[in-house]
Structures are given as structure tokens and as C-alpha cells.
Chain A
Amino acid sequence: MSFIAKLAEDLCTGCKQCIFACPEPNIIRFNGNTKKVEFYIDKCKGCGLCAEACKFDALEITLA
């Protein structure tokens, strides 16, 4: 059983707070065109720090 972060893209404002909270490199990337974040989720450890940091409820931790 493992956990991963899940993004609700419509709620993302592109504030990047999740990027500054994630301990893992290269998972959360900022898309300059959409001005939202994207997740390269296979490296996610499901720690939940990004979801804690997001003030817009755009992230939750779910079962992989």
C-alpha cells in the first residue's frame, strides 16, 4: 500500500507553495503556459507536505 499526491487542476492557482514544500526533486514542475503545476508522480512518496502547504485545497493524498 502506498500513498501519492493528487492534484485537482481546476483549483490550482500556480502559487508554487507545494514546490517549495516537497522534499523530493523534480516531482512538481511548473508549466509556464498553463501557469499551473504538474506532477511526475512515480517519484512521489506520499508524505503530504505539498497538500499541507496548498492553501487552495488543490491537493490531497490518496492511495496509489
Chain B
Amino acid sequence: MIPKISPGFEDVLPVEYRELVQDGSYGRNLRIKDLGTFKESIEEHPLCAGCALSLSIRLIVASLPCPEDTIVVGTTGCNSILMPQLAIHNIHSLFGNQNAVASGLKRALKIRYPDKHKDVVVVAGDGGTADIGLSMTMHSWFRRENITTIMLDNEGYSNTGGQESSMTREGVVLYMAPLGKKYPKTRMFEIARESGCAYVAAVSPASPRRLEKMVRRAILVARAIGPTYVQIYCPCATNYKFSPSETLKRTKDDEQIREYMSSDAKELIERLGE
């Protein structure tokens, strides 16, 4: 559904919303290459300077196949401070509940709009996905829900001062993990694949074209086949104590690009030319 301004309200609507209607991304089939030529979000956000997570969200939003018919489900984390600024429908769920909320939402939308695609995309951090919400995330995959789960992996609990998460790498010392992490990073890519995801990918914002391709594939496979998972590596300058200007260099040095697709997903992706 492409929003319009009701007649008579043009001059009272805040300028940010007017710009969104006149110059937003809805219904225009825009891509990452078009960034800089359309209005991306309602207003600026309060995340740290040089945050890889906020860059990833910009890139995700520009990759959506159908932004006007996408609902993002988020949960607690640095990213949740940015979500309300997005020019896309979004819901904040209780910490860890995001995949359960997204499952119900997708089922309801299928009933309400049987002839339309409504893409439900979970965007959550590593704490929300791999720790606190792991059971709900996995059960949504076991149930073969038609939703996409995107994890922004900043390898820790960043907005509460730097505690380790299960996605923190072994040996890493953080402000609130002074003895260093004692066990390895959780293998979410493998967990997703074994739990029934039809498409699983790992990427970072240092490879924007690849990120775009993977996000699009994940959403299109989720529409037609079943659950999909994309893990985006987003190192955190504030808690890993490096200069914000180094964020992309570090991201590039450490990124892992991986992709798995089931045979059904492969056939679909080839058929759609994605």
C-alpha cells in the first residue's frame, strides 16, 4: 500500500513525513545503488558515530523487494533505538519474542490479504536472536514459518555497557566481561540450516551488493518456501574500543561470506533471476 497525504493535510503534516510521501522508496523498486536519491528514514537516529549496525540497517532497507508491504519486527538492542525512525512499518516486541510475534503476524496477514505478499522480516541483535530469543527463533524455523530472520551480529550486548553474548568470540574481553569469554561463538549459520531454514546467508555491510542480493533472496524464499536467515557482521566501535573511522576496514577484514540454499530455494532463485 503506497501512502498518500489526505487532501487538506498537506500543510500541517511535518516536513519529514511530506518528504517521505513525495520522495520515499515506496513502489519505486529502488536498490542500494539508488541510495542518496531518495528519502531513507523519517529522521536521524541516535546510534553511535560509525556504527556498523546502523549502516547495515540502511542497506537492508534499501534492499527490500517491497518496502511498502514489509513489516519489520524488532526487539531490544541498539538497533531498536533506530527502528522507529525507519520509513517502514515496524513493531517492537518484548526481548526475545520477535520470531513468535513475527510468526503470528505473518499468519494473520496471509488470512487478511490472501492475494498479496506481505513480507515479515525480523531484524534483531545477537543477544535477541542467539541468546534470549533462541528458543522462539528456532521454533519458528521448526514450524517452517514464512518469515525472514536477520541478525545484526555486533558480538555483544552493546547498549547495556558491553556484556558478552553467545556470539562474542572466545577470549574476547569486554567492559563487563573482564575475564574474557570462556567458550566459542555460537554457530548460528549451522543451527539455522539444520533447523529447517531454506536459505541461510552470512555477510557484512562492507559488501553492500552482496548484502543486497542475500537480503532479497532471503525475503523472496521466505514468501514462497519457508524460513530464512541472514547473519550480518556489525562490529561495535564503542564496546570493542576502536576508532569509528576503522569500522568498515575491520568489518572487511573479518567478514565471512557464506550462503546455503535448499534445492527448492535454489530453483526458485534461478527462476526469479535473483
Interface residues of A (CB under 8 A from B): 16, 19-26, 28-30, 32, 37, 43, 45-49, 51-53, 61
Contact = CB atoms under 8 A, between A and B. Distances in A.
Interface of B: 32-33, 35-37, 39-41, 44-45, 47-55, 58-59, 85, 208, 243-249
Given A21-B55, A25-B41, A47-B49, A53 B36 contact: no
Contacts, number: 71
Contacts of B41: 25-26
B55 A51 contact: no
B15 to A, nearest CB: 12
A32 B34 CA distance: 11
Given A20-B59, A26-B41, A37-B36, 12 more contacts: A22-B58, A23-B51, A25-B40, A25-B44, A25-B45, A25-B85, A26-B44, A45-B50, A49-B245, A49-B247, A51-B245, A61-B245
Contact of A26 (B40, B51, B243, B246): B40
Contact of B50 (A28, A43, A48): A48
Nearest to A51: B245
A23 B44 contact: no
A19 B247 contact: no
Contacts of A29: 36-37
Contacts of A48: 50, 243-245
B256 to A, nearest CB: 20
